[in-house]
C-alpha cells in the first residue's frame, strides 16, 4: 500500500521545497547513518511506527526488528536491536545496540548465535535471571537479522 503522506511540500515565493527528516542511527560502535530521509519506520514495543516530517515529538523504546527508511524512492532496511528513539521537530535519533544492513549480516555466524541462545533458553532452570534475559535478547536480535538476510530469497 502506497504511503499517501510520504512527501510534504510547501511553496515559498513560488519555489516548491520538499520537507525531509534528519535521521541519525547510532550504535555503541559507530554512527551507522546520518542523513536526510523522507520517512523512517521503527520497531517499537507497541508496534511499528512511521515517522514523517512534522511528526509530534516523542521518545520511544526500540525492540529487535527492522528499521526502514526511504530516501528519494529508495528503501533501506536495517536489522535493529534494543534501544531508544527520539523524535523532535524534523529530527529522529535512534540509539540501538545493533543496526546492521543485510549485506553486513553473516548468516552462519547469526545461525550459530541463534542456536546458542536457543540452547541457553532450554536450560532456564540453570540460568540466573540476568543470564536468561541476555539469552532471550540475543535470540530476538538473531531472529531479526535472519529475517532481513533471508528476505531476498523469498522475493
**Which residues, given as ranges, of the chain have pLDDT below 70?**
1-17, 152-155
At residue 5, the pLDDT reads 46
C-alpha distances in angstroms, 96 versus 13, 52, 76, 134?
Answer: 41, 20, 17, 15
- 8-25 per-position pLDDT tens digit: 555 556 666 678 999 999
CA distance 90 to 97: 23
List the domain boundaries for the chain: 8-102, 105-154
Q: What predicted TM-score, i.e. pTM, was given to this entire model?
A: 0.81
Predicted local distance difference test score (pLDDT) of residue 123: 87
CATH class of 8-102: mainly beta
The reported pLDDT for the residue numbered 64 is: 95
Element (H, E) at 65: strand 65-71
CA end-to-end distance (rounded Å), the chain: 17
Which residue has cell 531476498?
152
Give the per-residue pLDDT at 125. 85
Amino acid at each position: 500500500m502506497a504511503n499517501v503522506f510520504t512527501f510534504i511540500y510547501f511553496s515559498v515565493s513560488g519555489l516548491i521545497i520538499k520537507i525531509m527528516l534528519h535521521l541519525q542511527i547510532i550504535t555503541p560502535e559507530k554512527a551507522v547513518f546520518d542523513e536526510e530521509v523522507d520517512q523512517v519506520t521503527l520497531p517499537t514495543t507497541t508496534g511499528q511506527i512511521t515517522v514523517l516530517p512534522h511528526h509530534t515529538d516523542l521518545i520511544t523504546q526500540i525492540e529487535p526488528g527492522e528499521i526502514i527508511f526511504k530516501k528519494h524512492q529508495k528503501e533501506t532496511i536495517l536489522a535493529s536491536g534494543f534501544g531508544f528513539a527520539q523524535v523532535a521537530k524534523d529530527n529522529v535519533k535512534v540509539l540501538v545496540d545493533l543496526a546492521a544492513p543485510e549485506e553486513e549480516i553473516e548468516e552462519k555466524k547469526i545461525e550459530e548465535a541463534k542456536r546458542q541462545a536457543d540452547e541457553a533458553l532450554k536450560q532456564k532452570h540453570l540460568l540466573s535471571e540476568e543470564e536468561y534475559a541476555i539469552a532471550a535478547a540475543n535470540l530476538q536480535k538473531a531472529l531479526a537479522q535472519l529475517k532481513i538476510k533471508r528476505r531476498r530469497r523469498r522475493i
